[in-house]
Amino acid sequence: MKRSLLLVATLAAFGCAEIRELRTTDANPYQDPFYAKYLNTGSSLDAQITRTLEGLRADATNAQLHNELGALLVQKGFPKDAEREFERAVNLDKRYYPAWYNLGMVRAARGDEGGSRRAFRYTVHYKPGHAMALFQLGLIEEKLQHSDRAVELYAKALSINPSLIEPSVNPRILDTKLVHRALIAMYGKDHARKSMQFQGVSGAAPRRPPAAEAAPAPIVPPPAPKKP
């Protein structure tokens, strides 16, 4: 009898805990987030955050809105809340690579190399050829002293987007000491590709041989004048 009562009490307690957990999960966290009290400056940034919050109050399953809110919160100075929004975005849509990339950036900013590495890898997994993610992975590999792997990633990133060599486009180009090696590796591959000359490639119209020049017309002398 006592064991039965104990079992019933345990199940009841477990059920209450489950209800509390479900209520916490189902509650919309955008009704009154703590950072909302700082959205009173009248700036365009605050207005954008407010509009995005309104969108998420209406539909908290929109991965793009979570990503947008995260980017805005980074600008506002709330990186932890931004990271949570990027995580919510990829949880809703694991193929949404912009949120993976942004998640990698905020994790890298707080020194989470393992977490940022995973996020950047997911970025290039779902978006092959994402030059900035490849470059960020190169920075991580260089910091881990995996120079050859870093050079490979840098070369690939620069071959996809050569403008990443410019500090105005990619300020973190100044953080690597392997750019010269990456450029050499990139040049080798690019030179090899351009030096290939293929024969029998269809698509180009065959060149016709020049036509033979026509023989000049014979010169016919004018008729002689008749005698009177």
Question: Do residues 110 and 74 touch, judged by C-beta distance below 8 A?
Answer: no
Residue 100 sits in the same domain as residue 39: yes
pLDDT of 212 above 80? no
Determine the pLDDT at residue 18: 35
Tell me the H-state helices in 27-112.
44-58, 63-76, 79-92, 97-109
Task: Tell whether 10 is covered by a domain.
Answer: no
Q: What pTM value is reported for the model?
A: 0.70
Residue 106 sits in the same domain as residue 55: yes
Q: What is the CA radius of gyration of the chain?
A: 34
Task: Tell whether 161 is covered by a domain.
Answer: yes
Determine the pLDDT at residue 19: 33
Determine the pLDDT at residue 113: 92
Task: Tell whether 198 is covered by a domain.
Answer: no
% of the chain residues with pLDDT over 90: 62
**Least confident segment among 60-64, 77-81, 202-206:** 202-206
Residue 106 sits in the same domain as residue 37: yes
pLDDT of 22 above 80? no
Dump pLDDT digits (tens) for 82-123: 999 999 999 999 999 999 999 999 999 999 999 999 999 999
Task: Tell whether 206 is covered by a domain.
Answer: no
Residue 146 sits in the same domain as residue 181: yes
The stretch 163-167 carries a mean pLDDT of: 95
- Write the burial class of residue 93 (CB in 10 Å: 0-12 exposed, 13-18 middle, 19+ buried): middle
Residue 107 sits in the same domain as residue 166: no
Task: For residue 125, give the nearest of 94, 86, 102, 162 by alpha carbon.
Answer: 94
CATH of the domain at 32: 1.25.40.10
State which amino acid sits at residue 218.
Answer: P
Question: Do residues 155 and 171 touch, judged by C-beta distance below 8 A?
Answer: no
Task: Tell whether 157 is covered by a domain.
Answer: yes
Task: Tell whether 7 is covered by a domain.
Answer: no
Provide the sign of the torsion angle of the four alpha carbons 83, 86, 92, 94, taken in this order: negative
pLDDT of 7 above 50? no
Determine the pLDDT at residue 41: 82
Q: Which domain holds residue 149?
A: 129-193
% of the chain residues with pLDDT over 70: 70
Task: Tell whether 5 is covered by a domain.
Answer: no
pLDDT: which is higher, 204 or 124: 124
Residue 148 sits in the same domain as residue 180: yes
pLDDT of 210 above 70? no
Question: Do residues 78 and 49 touch, judged by C-beta distance below 8 A?
Answer: no
Among 49, 82, 112, the domain boundary falls at 112
pLDDT of 11 above 60? no
CA dist., res. 39 & res. 81, Å (int):
14
Residue 108 sits in the same domain as residue 133: no
- What three-state secondary structure class fits 212? coil
Q: What's 146's DSSP letter?
A: -
CA dist., res. 205 & res. 5, Å (int):
90
The count of structural domains within the chain is 2
Residue 73 sits in the same domain as residue 135: no
pLDDT of 28 above 90? no
The mean pLDDT value of the chain amounts to 81
Task: Tell whether 4 is covered by a domain.
Answer: no
Q: Work out the end-to-end distance of the chain between its first and last CA atoms, rounded to an integer number of angstroms.
A: 158
Q: How confident is the model at residue 72 (pLDDT cuts 50, 70, 90)?
A: very high
